[in-house]
Structure 1
């Protein structure tokens, strides 16, 4: 996972801790309106963390796939260059063949 994604995840974790601390400092009851709002905030933050983690892993996978495809494309280019070279040599040999026999 890239450093920016890790940083954001860290900030989200800190946010959850701050909300929990505020809840404890205010002695918020879980059954009250404020307690419900705090639970909703924590749930939303956790959902954001999960989504961001998924996006981070997907980005890593895409980067790896892109690197693999780049390597494969380079191998194909090398193979094509060799084919063109061999084709040119074959054409040269075919064109020179009748001239040598004359």
Structure 2
């Protein structure tokens, strides 16, 4: 596999990923009985926390070991695509959250 810089493809993939995270968190919280505005607020907060961790927007450390994630996606062409820096999917959380809760 070859690592390729492709910001457009990367952007599309990270929107799909955070959308899937939002859908799964929403489903699990609904099963737990969370409803209405509380559901949307909790889904948004959890998804944002996950996204900022993956984006390396917040420090991730355990037992003195700092972890710096760098997100890449494997495309259908068997390439690894990246954006040339840290991901930024946390910027999409609340827009996608609104779309998910409108449908």
- Calculate the TM-score normalised by the size of structure 1: 0.31
Greater C-alpha Rg:
1
Q: Which has the higher contact order (CA 8 A, sep 6+)?
A: 2
